[in-house]
């Protein structure tokens, strides 16, 4: 029986919902790393919970901006998969597995190429295993775009999208104001560090669109995406990137059963990320909660040991195959 999401009295604030999970991270099961060589000469790393048995579904976990298999939400889902003997693998974006990728290019909110390459390899190696996916935040936007781009040809059979910034321009503006600037600052510092490392690498420096002295000036997502993300990944401008990479316009083309979950109080977003019924294909189940923060959704426990709604909801949709 699925329980309804209702936050406890002490977790009704969106920032408590967003920050407390980071401060109360759980341990996770041991993982086995696999390096996937990409067609352009770069690589991504996959972290396996276990190898699939015959015909066993594989749950592919796609993390958010600067996340990894260490992220609080990934750890919790891996724990639940472990307890239920579900096969799961973490798909790392380039440079997010603890080792800098080889190319000047990195990853971005609309980057579906690496995901398709990974899925193709998985399908080749495990042809009888259905591929299921869950994407969080940036990873959720990537997953939404992938499902819409590939439509009926999607290699993913069922998917769940959590706290995805489906309108990138609106989210960039939101993160540049109020308390949300705290989240922006935390993430921008990590992006600056990775960009600095590449600019200092003699083999990559000439391909980087910024100089060492310019990096500290990139204080907002808009600035960073304007000076680094857009030119580095072949977009005409930051606005071109935000428009082409946003998942919102791809919802209507999704052919595989997909659950999209948002919280109306998400401090990373505005109401612009909430799609209308007309914007969603019939295969999309949209779930909007008034509270929950960004990838939070604490629904019980104590402040020292919170209990969460997400993992049960995700696996109920993916494995039980119920709306």
What integer pLDDT is reported at residue 235 of this predicted model? 97
Positive or negative torsion for Cα 306, 307, 310, 315: positive
DSSP 140: H
Coil, helix or strand at residue 13: coil
Positive or negative torsion for Cα 179, 75, 187, 242: negative
Residue whose token pair is 């066993």: 56
The catalytic residue among 137, 154, 169, 246 is 137
Coil, helix or strand at residue 228: helix
Q: For residue 294, indicate whether it is catalytic.
A: yes
The two beta strands, 284-289 and 258-263, are parallel
| Domains of the chain, each with CATH number or no CATH | 9-167+247-318 (3.40.50.1820), 169-245 (no CATH)
What integer pLDDT is reported at residue 321 of this predicted model? 74
Q: Is 37 exposed, middle or buried (0-12, 13-18, 19+ CB in 10 A)?
A: exposed
Length of the chain measured in residues: 323
Residues near 188 by beta carbon (within 8 Å), at least 6 away in sequence: 218, 219, 220, 221, 224
CA 276/CA 14 separation, integer angstroms: 23
Query: In the structure encoding, which two tokens stand for residue 232, read together?
Result: 């580095």
The catalytic residue among 63, 72, 289, 294 is 294
The catalytic residue among 47, 111, 265, 266 is 266
CA 248/CA 167 separation, integer angstroms: 6
Tens digit of pLDDT per residue, the chain (323 long)?
566 899 999 999 999 999 999 999 999 999 999 999 999 999 999 999 999 999 999 999 999 999 999 999 999 999 999 999 999 999 999 999 999 999 999 999 999 999 999 999 999 999 999 999 999 999 999 999 999 999 999 999 999 999 999 999 999 999 999 999 999 999 999 999 999 999 999 999 999 999 999 999 999 999 999 999 999 999 999 999 999 999 999 999 999 999 999 999 999 999 999 999 999 999 999 999 999 999 999 999 999 999 999 999 999 999 987 66
Task: Please name the residue ranges forming H helices in the chain.
Answer: 14-23, 72-83, 113-125, 138-150, 168-174, 180-199, 221-224, 230-232, 238-245, 310-318
Count H helices and E strands in the chain, helices first: 10, 10
Residues near 183 by beta carbon (within 8 Å), at least 6 away in sequence: 18, 175, 267, 268, 294
What integer pLDDT is reported at residue 4 of this predicted model? 85
In DSSP notation, 18-50 reads: HHHHHHTPPP----EEEEEE-TTS-EEEEEESS
Query: In the structure encoding, which two tokens stand for residue 249, read together?
Result: 């316009």
What integer pLDDT is reported at residue 144 of this predicted model? 98
* pTM (global) more than 0.75: yes
Q: For residue 211, indicate whether it is catalytic.
A: no
End-to-end CA distance of the chain: 12
CA 279/CA 264 separation, integer angstroms: 18
CA-based R_g, the chain, Å: 19
Q: Is 306 exposed, middle or buried (0-12, 13-18, 19+ CB in 10 A)?
A: buried
Q: For residue 111, indicate whether it is catalytic.
A: no
């Amino acid at each position: 029986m699925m329980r309804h999401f209702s936050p406890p009295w002490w977790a009704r604030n969106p920032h408590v919902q967003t920050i407390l999970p980071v401060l109360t991270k759980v341990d996770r099961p041991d993982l086995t790393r696999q390096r996937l060589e990409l067609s352009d000469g770069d690589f991504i790393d996959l972290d396996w919970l276990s190898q699939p048995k015959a015909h066993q579904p594989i749950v592919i976990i796609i993390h958010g901006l600067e996340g990894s298999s260490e992220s609080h939400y990934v750890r919790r889902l891996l724990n639940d998969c472990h307890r239920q003997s579900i096969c799961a693998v973490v798909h790392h974006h380039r440079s997010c597995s603890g080792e800098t990728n080889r190319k000047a290019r990195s990853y971005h909110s609309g980057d579906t190429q690496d995901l398709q390459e990974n899925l193709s390899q998985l399908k080749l190696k495990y042809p009888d295993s259905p591929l299921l996916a869950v994407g969080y935040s940036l990873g959720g936007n990537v997953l939404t775009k992938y499902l819409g781009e590939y439509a009926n040809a999607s290699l993913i059979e069922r998917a769940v999208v959590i706290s995805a910034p489906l309108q990138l321009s609106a989210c960039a503006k939101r993160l540049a104001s109020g308390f949300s600037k705290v989240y922006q600052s935390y993430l921008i510092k990590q992006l600056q560090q990775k960009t600095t490392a590449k600019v200092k690498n003699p083999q990559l420096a000439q391909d980087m669109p910024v100089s060492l002295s310019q990096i500290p000036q990139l204080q907002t997502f808009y600035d960073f995406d304007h000076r680094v993300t857009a030119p580095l990944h072949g977009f005409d401008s930051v606005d071109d990137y935000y428009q082409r990479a946003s998942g919102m316009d791809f919802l209507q083309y999704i052919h595989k059963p997909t659950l999209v979950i948002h919280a109306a109080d998400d401090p990373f977003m505005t109401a612009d990320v909430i799609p209308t019924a007309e914007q969603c294909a019939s295969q999309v189940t949209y779930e909007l909660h008034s509270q929950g923060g960004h990838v939070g959704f604490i629904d019980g426990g104590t402040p020292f040991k919170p209990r969460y709604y997400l993992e049960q909801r995700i696996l109920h949709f993916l494995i039980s195959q119920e709306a």
